[in-house]
């Protein structure tokens, strides 16, 4: 079996993990610019931009030329585009390991994420789609400063700011607009140009990223939890694996409502009073190396599922109390001759 990792970016470690999986012959990668992950792949494609009309044809053509059997993506915007074109790949017996378009949209659109949590009865911070809603929430005591201003279709920490009063809100929402429409966030944000921001109650507490595992039919399998210790560039830089028991009911509810495929990353904050769920990322996230180095072998299980094998819970377990950090390793990408 050959697999393609799209929007591979800097995540060379994911390529390396896949290359050690039994049942996978070659690991290919694609990205719109040359990146370190492409160096680690067996071969690669410099793809058109995700929102280009030529993107899907280029990815499909690469798959056919290299006998690729399955593909998955590591980037939010890419997920939505690929989910919309699943049938084109599946017509050629290429498995797209991505949840259905409706749930991917729920994960990418933070306003739909908020509504998903509310409908599922999951505790989440008060969230508003525009200034009028925010000011009404402030006036009736439903929320209070500080509040977070962030892109509705955001990723990482781009365009996210904490405002401590209404004057800061005036300034920071303009900065967030600037960040959105001067970056790749503008593409998805143009899906809702009338409301590219959301305003959310700031919750003070300890952050816990969860990784919820479903099988390829959307059935719940297991949950893993990490206590976040440090961040860098919008990703968990240092984390420790902890017991998922306080979060299991939440995880099972999200799994049952969303029926996602494979792995779902969920951001939680545990305050003194309660656990709040903040965001969903429908893909392998930046926390995955912490789980992998703690013993999780989800990628082996994924390959086994693709090869028609059953679930092996020994692959889907890990050691708790393991602290992991990411290492910065300078590498030459190109050298002029």
CB 225 within 8 A of CB 247: yes
**pTM, entire model:** 0.95
Q: What is the CATH number of domain 2-98?
A: 3.40.50.20
Report the distance separating Cα 270 and Cα 93, nearest Å: 43
Identify the architecture of domain 206-325 in CATH: 2-Layer Sandwich (3.30)
Q: Exposed (0-12), middle (13-18) or buried (19+): which is 48, by Cβ within 10 Å?
A: middle
- Percent helix, percent strand, percent coil in the chain, to nearest 5: 35, 25, 40
pLDDT of residue 16: 98
What is residue 62's predicted lDDT score, i.e. its pLDDT? 98
2-98 shares its CATH topology with 206-325:
no
Spans in the chain with pLDDT lower than 70: 233-234
Task: Note the pLDDT of residue 39.
Answer: 95
Cα 172 to Cα 18, 175, 309: the distances in Å are 41, 5, 51
> pLDDT tens digits for 198-218?
999 999 999 999 999 999 999
Range 126-201 classified under CATH 3.40.710? no
pLDDT of residue 326: 83
Domain spans, the chain: 2-98, 126-201, 206-325
Q: What is the pLDDT of residues 130-164, one digit of tens each?
A: 999 999 999 999 999 999 999 999 887 899 999 99
pLDDT for 308 equals 96
């Amino acid at each position: 079996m050959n697999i393609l990792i799209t929007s591979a970016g800097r995540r060379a470690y994911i390529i390396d993990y896949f290359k050690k999986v039994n049942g996978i012959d070659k690991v290919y990668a694609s990205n719109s610019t040359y990146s370190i992950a492409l160096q680690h792949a067996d071969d690669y494609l410099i793809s058109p931009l995700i929102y280009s009309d030529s993107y899907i044809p280029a990815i499909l053509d690469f798959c056919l030329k290299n006998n690729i059997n399955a593909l998955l993506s590591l980037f939010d915007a890419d997920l939505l585009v690929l989910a919309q074109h699943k049938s084109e790949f599946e017509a050629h017996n290429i498995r797209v390991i991505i949840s259905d378009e409706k749930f991917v949209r729920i994960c990418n659109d933070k306003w739909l994420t908020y509504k998903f949590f509310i409908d599922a009865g999951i505790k989440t911070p008060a969230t508003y789609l525009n200034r009028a809603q925010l000011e009404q929430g402030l006036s009736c005591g439903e929320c209070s400063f500080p509040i977070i201003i962030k892109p509705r279709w955001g990723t990482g920490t781009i365009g996210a700011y904490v405002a401590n009063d209404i004057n800061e809100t005036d300034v920071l929402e303009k900065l967030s607009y600037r960040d959105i429409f001067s970056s790749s966030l503008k593409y998805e944000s143009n899906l809702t140009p009338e409301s590219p921001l959301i305003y959310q109650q700031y919750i003070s507490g300890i952050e816990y990223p969860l990784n919820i595992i479903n099988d390829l039919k959307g059935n719940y399998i297991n949950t893993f939890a990490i206590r976040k210790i440090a961040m860098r560039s919008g990703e968990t830089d240092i984390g420790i694996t902890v017991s998922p028991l306080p979060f299991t009911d939440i995880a099972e509810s999200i799994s049952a409502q969303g029926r996602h495929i494979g792995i779902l990353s969920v951001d939680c904050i545990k305050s003194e009073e309660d656990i709040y769920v903040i965001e969903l990322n429908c893909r392998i996230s930046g926390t995955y190396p912490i789980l992998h180095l703690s013993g999780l072998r989800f990628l082996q299980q994924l390959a086994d599922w693709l090869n028609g094998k059953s679930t092996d819970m020994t692959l889907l377990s890990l050691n708790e109390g393991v602290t992991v950090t990411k290492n910065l390793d300078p590498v030459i990408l190109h050298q002029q001759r």
